[in-house]
Structure 1
């Protein structure tokens, strides 16, 4: 530095430490300019979110983009929520137990081959006890250690008949719901995806189906075809798809306008592939909820037709048919005795199963509720979950 030079403009060598620190601070302040700093959000605390890289990989690997990863994540989150719902899990255990006991009640033969050799029921449901087992048994004997649910009016063991009766009532419920939900999904997806004249015609057909009560239509079908297992399946499946179709159609109307569907169309994907890979899978959540609730409705409908004498053969151990065979015992004359067990146990089986299915449906609805999958202000997730297990995990924060 020379005399007269301004001290504020002195120039030092590059190895001057004072100059290096000042320059570093200046560069640091310059680098910080223009950056957006977000506070109040901790990405490490975000729960139940799919990694962005996974979505990107899906987008790079197929035309369905991030929708497959998002859908898988939503179903995984829903499964975890359902598992934390104690009421729903208890109801699921009841339904599985009832179905398993019914399956193992008596041996099952298929084409002369025994495929299920177990027999939890002590007697065949058609065996008349006082003719072949014990002559001392009388019709409508009360419950005892030997016959836990008593004896019906024909001298048959009610315990064995209730166990075997679940095969008919439960299986019809699930078979009917499986058929109607599958057809309703395809029908509603096609109607909502194509729109226009196609949607108008298809929805008017649905309106015609809804113009008649479902149970009345089932009654007409059974009266025409006669009673029997598959006749009941046809009766409840022939028109039961309409509710699913209308629900799916409403979902598809919004899904068809989303970016991944438009992108699939833009790259030349066929309509059938777009519906199968993008539209229908994204409309499954409300369909599953409705299907789980409708299983109980079908079981009640089958029992109602059986109670009216239009269901299975009168000797069949189906819960509704059993109620029909004993309905004359509900009212007795003066001094008469009402064998309550003849109606309470079959009716109780229907009540427990339908109640359990409704609780399961509510649990599925809560688990798949999209409003519980958001991210709150603290990164912990959206609204506090409804089931008791998540309250402990989420704490008291709500958004």
Structure 2
């Protein structure tokens, strides 16, 4: 069975590498090109190679009642988290309307308040705050399940889904969170492909058009986010903002390879898993001295390439604990796992397999940037929660060995 999601992701990854080649020209690192190409080829081999797949067929399908309950719970979580995030930085309606359609100004406003630790009190205990952060993965469930099961949702729940999405997108604009929109689109990608692909494997024209419209709108939104910032344009007309945003996105998906070049010049110093699981490490401990031993920290010290202000790809974040030699092995595993999850999602209609695959899509989409899945505490908890739900969904299912080329 063709691994459609990873096929498109690998194409995108090679596009980002091509953008690096074009952007840096004679200044590029040949070693980076060979290393990254090897990692992407191994990822593609794992996703499409003739390796045996061990699938888990759930013993029962997801009932409509359970779907509606999960979607409703996700609506509540997404709306509550979004409103709390807005209230943390905005005190009145006038400031909300002022910044809502100016993501560049909103981004600078929120960044300044974060730097000064100037937050509004929203009346939540620290435990409640951690709980809400831990539930941030609910946005992936909301969008993914709504795409997959739209026809099985009641009219009232459909309206709630649309309302939650409006609130969430409003929050993204108000805090300048382009990364949240990118992650949401990446996680929803397998669900879109599930709808596009019919049982016979022939794409549905209407579903394909809807997917292209949504992805195009999401891409245009990200370009507007980036293009409205001062370093890429700002204060220009809409068309010029979009053009500047396109150039800005090319910079975002390519400059991390330059940071990787610096890291490849450094020796290995393990950080005990703390760089790989950065989101957990920085939240559960106040000691950050270990970060100076990571590839990112030493690259900043040796070459002046900022560890957190600019990107160095996901590879140094992983290699700081596993070595650069181990990264291709992880890429092979990711490719094989994506193949398994896609097969289980489309063959057995398992939404939790597609939800877990959405996390792999986020990881792969942000390889040119950082280790996005474990970059924050909320992301880290979300990955664990989603894979736990997936494991529970198949724990009593039948085990099926499927080899490439077979058609069950």
TM range (shorter): under 0.3
Q: Whose helix proportion is higher, 1 or 2? A: 2
Task: Report the TM-score when normalising by structure 1.
Answer: 0.24
Relative contact order: is structure 1 or structure 2 higher (C-alpha 8 Å, sep ≥ 6)?
2
Task: Report the TM-score when normalising by structure 2.
Answer: 0.24
| CA radius of gyration, larger in | 1
